[in-house]
Structure formats: structure tokens, C-alpha cells
Amino acid sequence: MRVFAMTARVVLAGISHETNSFSSVPTDRAAFEASALVEGEALRTAFAGTNTEIGGMIEGARRAGFCLVPGLFAWALPSRPMSRALFDGLLDRIARLARDSAPVDGALVVLHGAMVVDGVPDADAAVVGAIRGAIGADRPVVATFDLHANLSPALVAACDMLIGYRTNPHVDMAERGAEAVARLADLLTGRRWQRAFRKLPLVSVSQTQVSADEPMRSIMRERDETVAALGLAGASVAVGYPYADVPQLGMAVLAYANDADVAAAGADRIAQAIWSRRDDFVPEVMPVDVAIAAATARAASRPGPVILVDVADNIGGGTPGDGTVALAGLLAAGAREAAVVLWDPEAAERACALGAGARFVGAVGARTDRFHGDPVAIDGTVVFAGRVHYRRSGPWMTGQLAQLGRVARIDVDGIHVVVTETRILPYDTQHLEAVGLDPRRLRFIVVKAAAGWRTPFEPLMSTCFYLDTPGAHAPDLSRFPFRSRPRPLYPLERDATWDGAGASP
Ligand SMILES: [Zn+2]
């Protein structure tokens, strides 16, 4: 065994973007600056101790005795495809910093796996390619990806190992980052693995991808049992991100082992478990008025709020977060003690200028497009107005600073309309508490999310309903004008078949 552990120099870099091809939310430099556009030692300051891949990599590298050389990391919330010019600029910077770090022994790369860039066929693979080009093609590279990745053969081939999240809502980012460091340490001692990659003609949507629910619970258990039974070096499931219109759209399985046949057997076993449950990935949704009527009946009989999941306007999936169809439904139904958060910088600025106690008369929401409803006229009282920021105390991105910008709460006949300057992922309850709302005392909470809302809200809710609203993250995929996706894909093509054959990059 080579003695490297105390001296190995390892580059850490990446770009993480989940791209919604149907979104009108821009993916510009400001979008990255709003989430993360950090390089060098600032990366350590921003992420050390957080439940992120980078947090786990920093801690793992410390334990492994690696000399970690932070490069550039860029992360933006899901939104439309990035321009080639912006992407090339980020890639040049990543490559330059990696070259400046030479000589290095290997690299840790943080990806999402569902990034789309105008004019670049496989952007995630291009990120790994740029890093390899900078540090030397023979240096090992381990990359992490989000469970929602659309893995391609090119990306699989570009990495010595790819490691995906195993939870949804995602809570294992730091663990996967630490795992990436451990596998890179193996590679640096000279270990190499055979891999098997299986791409399924199957597309699934967010609400059927929750790891604690069926069918994902059984599938992830099959993954764990297969790893243990066959002694795999690693195995990941990618459930895919259905709103990225790319040839690699769909679910996939990846397995690593010392022996090629063992890797293939492992990947086949997990992939067959997914294919056999394909009907369970078809979602159930309710029209807004039906859901509100059912929620009203439920709210009267059980404590805790009813969560109305506006999955078509899932901010974490690349939508504006200003969709008004659920708010209009609540107003029409005369609902009380309901909270709706809308991304609306104009209304937030106006309400903040008016100040707490003032009357607010005007339209809110639907600033971005008509795909998510029409602006809704409200007449209410500004109850809270001001800038909001806090450290995240929930399980998602724990410890990270959340900057909400200007926020106002306008109460309209018992409906609390919260308008915000930045888009708020409802993955904690702090954004409601910050404006004086106790989520436990509300009867209805509209969340603009698919699965990430569950971690904070499931413990306190009475029940939940998924709404059938329009939007760039609508669960009915037949509404979308795909051009590049593979065909067939179950359930869009109900007669899709799969012979179990896999691409072998
Ligand atoms: Zn994800």
C-alpha cells in the first residue's frame, strides 16, 4: 500500500443545478450568487459543519488526513437551462483553479446530475471532464449526485465512482460526501472497481419518489440488501428529474464491485425491483376545490394543519413559487387560518413600504407567467413587514444562513398571505414562524414543494392532499412539450417494455 494518507492533495469542486426545461425562471449569475458561488477557502467557511456534500467532504477529508484544496462550487435553485456562456465561464474558472492546485492526487466533485445547458449535450459529464483535464486523466475522481439525477453513460464513464443520495426528502448529503472521501481514499491506494449501469425506460414524478413511502422504501431496502449480499463497493439509484428534457431522462441504477459479473448482478437485481413496481410510480392528485372540501372536513375532526401540496409550483423543482391557483381556491372556499407563501418581490416591497398595521389593496402572485395562474386581488392588513434571515435549524442544510429578503404577511379574512423577496423552499417551519405564524395552530398550509416539505411538516400535520394545479412541475407529464426525451418511457408510453439490458460505459 502506498503511503499517501497524510499527504494526498485533493481538489473539491462542482456545479449543482437541477434544470427544469419548461421553467421561465432565469439561471443567471445572480441565481448562483443567491445560493452559492464560492471558491477557495471561502468554501470551507460557507459549508464546514453543514449537512451538505461539501460539509461531509470537509469533515471526511479531515479524518482521512487529506489536504483538501477547495476550488469553485456553484449551486443555484432549480430553474430554466443555463446559457452556454455562463456555463463555459464557470467551467473555465473550475479548470483554472484545479490547474493552479497542481500537483493533485484526485478530485471530489459535487454534481446534481440533472443539469441542462443550452448547446451542451451532457453538462454534468462536461464538469467532470474539465476537472479531469486540469488535474490529469489518470487521477481518480469521485462525484456525488442528487437522487433526482438523470444519469447518462457519459457521466458514469467519466467518474471512477458516482455516489447518489439515498433519501428523499434529502437528509443524507453530508453522509454521502463523507462516503465519497472514503471511496477516493480506496482509489488512492490503487483499488479499482468494475461498474454496471442500467437505464430504465421509466419516468417518475416527485410525490412517488419519497424514500419512506412505497414503492421507494422497498426499492431502497432492496438496494441495501443487494449491497450486503453481493459485497458491492457501492450502489446508487437515480430516480430522475422528469422536467429536464434530455436524452438521458429516466430512472437508473449503478453498481460497483471488484468483479464485473457481480456488479452486473447487483445492478440487475435493483433495476428489476424498480421495474416490477412501475405502476406504483404513477401519481394521484386532486382538483383544488375537491382537495379543499376534503381538507375542510378533515381539519374539523383532527388536530394539526392539513397540508395542501401545490406540487405543480414546486420551487425546489424549478418553478417560480408565485402560482396563485391554490390561494384563489382557498379564498373562493372561504377558508380560515390558512397560510400561503408567494414569491412576489413587488408586493413584498410595497407592503414593507406601507408598514405593519397598514391596509394592503392590490394584486399578488403570478408575476412570472400565466402558466401558474393569474394575479389575485386581495384587500387585507399588513401584519408583518421587514427583512428576514435565520440559520436553518431543521434537518435540511442545517446551519446554513437563509436570507429571505423583504417579507410581508398580509391577513385577508383569516388567510395569511406571505409575500417574499426571494423564493422560499418550505423545507423548514422557520419562514412561517418568522412572520408570527405557528404552523401547529393553522388549519391549512399550502406548500410549494414536492417532497422536501415532509420533513418539517409531516410530524405536525393531520393529513395532506396533492393538488392538481397547472405549473412547470405538474405531475401530469403528458402536459409538457418534450423534444429530447427518450421513447418509450413508462407511463407516458403505457406499452413500454424493458428487456433488462443495460448500457455499459
Ligand atoms: Zn433532489
Identity at 126, one-letter amino acid code? A
Ligand 1 centre to CA of 189 (Å) is 32
Ligand 1 centre to CA of 165 (Å) is 8
Q: What is the residue-wise DSSP string for 18-62? A: -B-TT--S---HHHHHHHEEEETHHHHHHHTTSSSHHHHHHHHHH
Peptide bond into 103 cis (omega under 30): yes
Ligand 1 centre to CA of 71 (Å) is 23
Ligand 1 centre to CA of 263 (Å) is 25
The pLDDT mean for the chain works out to 94
Ligand 1 centre to CA of 334 (Å) is 35
Ligand 1 centre to CA of 454 (Å) is 14
Ligand 1 centre to CA of 240 (Å) is 9
What pLDDT, on the 0 to 100 scale, is given for residue 155?
98
Ligand 1 centre to CA of 386 (Å) is 31
| pLDDT tens-place string over residues 363-401 | 999 998 888 899 999 999 999 999 999 998 887 878 888
Percent of the chain with pLDDT over 70: 98
Tell which residue, 240, 231, 239, has the closest CA to residue 261. Answer: 231
Ligand 1 centre to CA of 197 (Å) is 20
Q: Give, for 444, the enclosing helix (H) or strand (E).
A: strand 444-447
- Average pLDDT value for residue range 124-146: 97
Ligand 1 centre to CA of 157 (Å) is 22
Ligand 1 centre to CA of 218 (Å) is 19
Tell which residue, 421, 409, 411, has the closest CA to residue 349. Answer: 421
What pLDDT, on the 0 to 100 scale, is given for residue 503?
53
What pLDDT, on the 0 to 100 scale, is given for residue 297?
83
In this model, does residue 267 exceed pLDDT 50? yes
- Average pLDDT value for residue range 63-74: 97
- Average pLDDT value for residue range 443-471: 93
Which of helix, strand or coil describes residue 437? coil
Ligand 1 centre to CA of 148 (Å) is 5
Percent of the chain with pLDDT over 90: 85
A 10 A CB-CB count for 298 gives: 16
* pLDDT range class, residue 303, cuts 50, 70, 90: confident
Cell (9 digits) for 11? 481538489
Q: Are strands 9-16 and 67-75 parallel, antiparallel or unpaired?
A: parallel
- Average pLDDT value for residue range 46-50: 94
What pLDDT, on the 0 to 100 scale, is given for residue 299?
66
In this model, does residue 179 exceed pLDDT 50? yes
Ligand 1 centre to CA of 112 (Å) is 8
What pLDDT, on the 0 to 100 scale, is given for residue 6?
53
Q: What is the pTM of this model?
A: 0.84
